[in-house]
Structure 1
Amino acid sequence: MAGILDNFRCPTCECIELGDKRNVVASIASGAMFFTGWWIVIDAAVKYDPVQMPNAVHACGAVAAFAFFMVNAVSNGQVRGENYSDGCLGTTGARIWMLIGFLLAFGSLIASMWVLFGVYVVNTTHKDAYPGVAVFLQNALIFFATITFKFGRTEELWD
């Protein structure tokens, strides 16, 4: 039962093969998502006063942006141990660094959901839920930008 999917191959579509353009497409898509997330929350921050959108809700986006840089500071080869053995902790340190980055990314996404539902949807003192939606969209887009940039590109980025 353990080898039931060993010979299974996913079907490939030749019309969407990116080839040499994979790094460029992943970088542009990731940058567009990162930019759009910040654009949405800046728009909400300009539109609403600090009573309707407290400054503390921006901590989620700051942590998500920091997690984006943490996760993408470590290459896939460093995590696999292919081209990295020196340094303070070697491959183990790279894996721990990336794990902490992903934990921060998931934590900020969950915190933005808590802000959306706990502050804006359930609480009836806020008449408009758009600031909560903006904070959630910002963190969701930054999270997907992190995933896209990390796993959407190949290791030949620096060649």
Structure 2
Amino acid sequence: MKKSMTLIAILVSIFSLTLTSCSSDDDNTNSSPEVETGSYKIYLDGALFLEGTNAQVGLIKDNQGNYVNTVTIGTGTEVVIVLSGFPTTIGEISTMVYDGDPGVNILTEQNLYDTRSGTLTRTSASKISFDGTCTDWPNLQSYSITGYIESEAWKVIN
């Protein structure tokens, strides 16, 4: 339980950092994305689990001001999805590993879903697909997970 609470705290911190780094003071740079919305569709064990459009997208910059390949997407406080370590080249594949980086982490009002294995694929400049397994915290139930997250904002990440 301690591990899941720590992971939830990390995810909330990342989401807070992301919202802060996308504030209006960053809008003066030429590299800011024009579109800060996106869509996602996620399936657990083949059944539609989450779907959203016009979700808020958060991008994170490193110390040099470059966008990194970690993004958040969510609909208010109901759903927050953190996608980290995804490929930056179209057609490239990253392997998701046990520690969640690269990986997909989903925080809903009730639970945290953390990927354990699988792949992330950059299918286009604006779309990242994933396929693998995840664990539901705190219930510790395993699921197959597939889906995609899409946004024009990803185009600034290369």
Report the structure number with the largest CA radius of gyration. 1
TM-score bin (small chain): 0.3 to 0.5
TM-score when normalising by structure 2:
0.33
Q: Please identify which structure carries the higher strand content.
A: 2
- Relative to its length, the structure with more helix (as a share) is 1
Higher RCO, Cα 8 Å, sep 6+: 1
